[in-house]
Structure 1
Amino acid sequence: MIAPRWLPLALVATFAVSACSSGDEPADQSSRFSRSAPPAGGSTPARAAALSPERYSAELTAQAGPVAKALAGIGRSRSLKALGERLERARVAAAEAAAGLGVLVPPADAAAEHADYVAALRDLTDDLDDLRESVEGRRLCTSGAVLARLGRAEGFEAVRSAGGDLAAKGDYPAEVATVKVPAARDRRLANGAFVRSGARSGRGTLTVDNGTGKDAVLTLVRGGTKAVSFYVRKKRKAKIGGVPDGTYRIYFTGGADWDGKARAFTRDCGFQRFEEPVKFTTVRTGNLIRFSTWTLTLQPVAGGNARTAEVDPDGFPR
């Protein structure tokens, strides 16, 4: 049986410039260079005036407000697609805020804090981009896992610190990193534990050999109904009985940290199904009762005859 498939460098050229003189020119090189006088009637551009505290506060609201809103939206994602989209929305908001605030001249007493805040927003932009890539690569699979990783990101902590410092200078709404971040976890169920028990009034049995390096959850689907789901720890076997007669499609997901509420692994997740359905039957002949017993392996085995296919995570039965 076949196991699932869990799964610019810049060249900077520098040029040395030297002055050469003929024998008729003075050896003192300093006499050869002079600062050009400004053109007649010309003037040096005036530095932009600092914003008033009230105007600066309004600019912060306009530029940084969307960042707080976008960050808060991450936790409301209910699918991997939505999670990726919300992370991209937050990344764009942070990048636009950094660009918009970067050209402003804040009140003089908040200049240092303002500079730190803009730099932190740029770092947060990079963090959010990394998180989006992790979701696309299935290294992070739920909003909780993303927020836990975000809480440990340098840019997020820098924005939280710089925003607090800026807010302490006056009525400056700069505290955008207010989203609650959970702690990273590593939850597991007992081997063979049911995620969904279902009706188990039959005689069929199913044994799953999980020789992979990840815990897994197997789900049997009959028609459009999720009949039963159960947990199989890595490097372990689990057996369930009482499977009613019928034809079932078998789906499985593997990963780390099982979130029972979301019914999903939060990290390093994969989603697949066996291509061929499995049929359970019970046959009575005289005093004999024969029933189906199936064994599935999730790792490669010699002579295996079960093929698997990838499944859209957002269409996976939970």
Structure 2
Amino acid sequence: MTTPPSPAGPNPDFPAWGPPNTPAPGMPTSGIPVSGTPMSGPPTSGFPASGPPTSGIPGYGPPTSGFPASGPPTSGIPGYGPPDPFGTPPAGAPNWVGPPTGAIGGGPGTGWPSGDRAPSGLPGRSRNKLIVGVVAVVLLLVCGVGGVAAFVSGDSDKKPAAAGATGGASASPTPSKAPEPMTATAYQSLLTEVDGLIGPAWQKVAAAKNQAATTEAVQALADAVKTSAPRFASLTPPKEAAAGHEQIKRAFNSLSSDFSTLAGSAKSGEICAGSSAVAQVTSLPSAGLLREAAKAFGSAFTFGAWLPAPVAQQTRTLANGTMVKKGTLNGSGEFTINNSGSDTDVAVSLVPNGAKVAAFTVFVSAGKTYKVKKVKDGSYQVYMSTGVDWDPGVAGFTRSCEFEKFADVFEFTTTSRQYTTWEITLKASVGGNADTDPVNPGDFPQ
């Protein structure tokens, strides 16, 4: 009798006050001060000036029309310069009248301002002058970059109109009309459409017999719920459906998240059969919200018949040595599965090399060993599936599934004087002489 080596199991900048530069030829210059900073005195159409204002233009001298042969442009611009600090008129200035002393009250206009002088000792600058000064800064900035200067006129006490206001009227918001509620018939039609989308997807989950089918079905269910949830978000339900409608919105918001999580669990193998997926979904709080919604609708509306009552999660197993697939055992070889060092049940399949169908599959309980006798001669590959909760209806585990196969090929040969016996130990150990490879669940032999 030949005893092959015993393989081991699976391996685990802005400018300040001051004169602008001499304008370039052709540059617009109307209204640009020749030199100096604005002097004390009443505001004149937006520009501060020394001396009495005349129609908003400073009166240092008569403006000349057009442009002089040389020097800066003078149209509308003082030609004699400002008086000295004692009020003496500038040289050549006709009809000069010195300005009154003291601070002046009132706004700009033709001639002297009509307001009284402010009492002696009060500040010489008014709030109006500050405002005009700010405007002049803006104008000088515009001129400095080549823009067309404009005079600012009017009463500086006037407040600017509110942005967006037109004329003297004020607009008031028009209350929006509340949306009309759906009719009971239209609302029931919506419920029926959603049931028709989710119901079939749910049935596919319940019928899934392996991890690949479960992953596909659960993802389709998650997509159906994600598509349905927004349809209830913004509509106004009929009065008789108000209570159930609020519950159904809450339920769908939760179900969308729960089903997406479930799809991930199926892909990873944490959930690998429909029965376990059904148990997990029906026990979710979001599923409870959906049942409460259906209950709140009462007899007026029908919805959610596809969702059953909560189903308890199970942990089923088989007796050690149970032949899940018996096959034909009429040879002389022996195959021993040592699972004594493991705390997980395992189903081991001996598959003819190159085939997709197992010759037999045997269930070996956690912590147990089992020997299969009468194995036919041939070359075989050894596949293993481990997990929790063996479902006889799908002939597989429903949770925590893993699928592997031994890298080596196992040969069984019988002669008149000897036969082959193999033993595998399903506990990784140092010095083990067998490697295992993961297997796609959809490629696992049945």
Normalising by structure 1, report the TM-score.
0.82
- One-letter identity of the residue aligned with 1:174: F
Q: Distance in 1 between matches of 2:328 and 2:239?
A: 71
Higher RCO (Cα < 8 Å, 6 or more apart)? 1
Q: Distance in 2 between matches of 1:135 and 1:55?
A: 36
Is 2:291 the partner of 1:163?
A: no
Give the alignment partner of residue 190 of structure 2, picking from 50, 59, 77.
59
Q: Distance in 1 between matches of 2:190 and 2:430?
A: 66
Give the alignment partner of residue 258 of structure 1, picking from 368, 386, 390.
390
How do residues 90-105 of structure 1 correspond to structure 2 at under 5 angstroms? Answer: 90-105=221-236
Give per-residue Cα distances to partners, 1:224-279, cap 9 Å, x unaligned.
24212111111211111111111111111111111223121111111111011101
Q: For the Cα contact (< 8 Å) 2:283–2:311, is it kept in 1? A: no
Give the alignment partner of residue 9 of structure 2, picking from 3, 11, 14.
3
Q: Distance in 2 between matches of 1:205 and 1:278?
A: 12
> Gaps spanning 5+ residues in structure 1: where?
7-37
Normalising by structure 2, report the TM-score.
0.59
The 3 A distance-change label for structure 1 pair 107 and 256 is same
Secondary structure, counterpart of 2:442 in structure 1: helix
- One-letter identity of the residue aligned with 1:120: A
Is 2:157 the partner of 1:151?
A: no
Is 2:315 the partner of 1:186?
A: yes
- One-letter identity of the residue aligned with 1:204: G
Is 2:391 the partner of 1:248?
A: no
Q: How far 1:131 sits from its partner (Å)?
A: 1.4
Q: Which residue of 2 aligns with 1:219?
A: 349
The 3 A distance-change label for structure 1 pair 5 and 141 is farther
What is the alpha-carbon root mean square deviation over aligned residues? 2.1
Range with greater deviation from structure 2 (81-90 or 255-264): 81-90
Structure 1 or 2: more helix by fraction: 1
Range with greater deviation from structure 2 (58-67 or 134-143): 58-67
- One-letter identity of the residue aligned with 1:74: V
Give the alignment partner of residue 297 of structure 1, picking from 420, 425, 441.
425
Give the alignment partner of residue 334 of structure 2, picking from 205, 209, 233.
205
- One-letter identity of the residue aligned with 1:4: P
Q: Which residue of 2 aligns with 1:9?
A: none
Secondary structure, counterpart of 2:269 in structure 1: coil
Q: How far 1:177 sits from its partner (Å)?
A: 4.1
> Gaps spanning 5+ residues in structure 2: where?
1-6, 13-168
Q: For the Cα contact (< 8 Å) 1:110–1:169, is it kept in 2? A: no
* Seq. identity, %: 27
Q: How far 1:313 sits from its partner (Å)?
A: 0.6
Q: Distance in 1 between matches of 2:310 and 2:235?
A: 31
Q: For the Cα contact (< 8 Å) 1:160–1:177, is it kept in 2? A: no
Q: For the Cα contact (< 8 Å) 1:94–1:124, is it kept in 2? A: yes
Q: How far 1:83 sits from its partner (Å)?
A: 2.0
Number of aligned residue pairs: give it.
Answer: 281
The 3 A distance-change label for structure 1 pair 197 and 60 is closer
Q: Distance in 2 between matches of 1:78 and 1:301?
A: 33
The 3 A distance-change label for structure 1 pair 141 and 39 is farther
Q: Which residue of 1 aligns with 2:30?
A: none
Q: Which has the larger radius of gyration?
A: 2
Q: For the Cα contact (< 8 Å) 1:94–1:122, is it kept in 2? A: no
Give per-residue Cα distances to partners, 1:13-47, cap 9 Å, x unaligned.
xxxxxxxxxxxxxxxxxxxxxxxxx9615302222
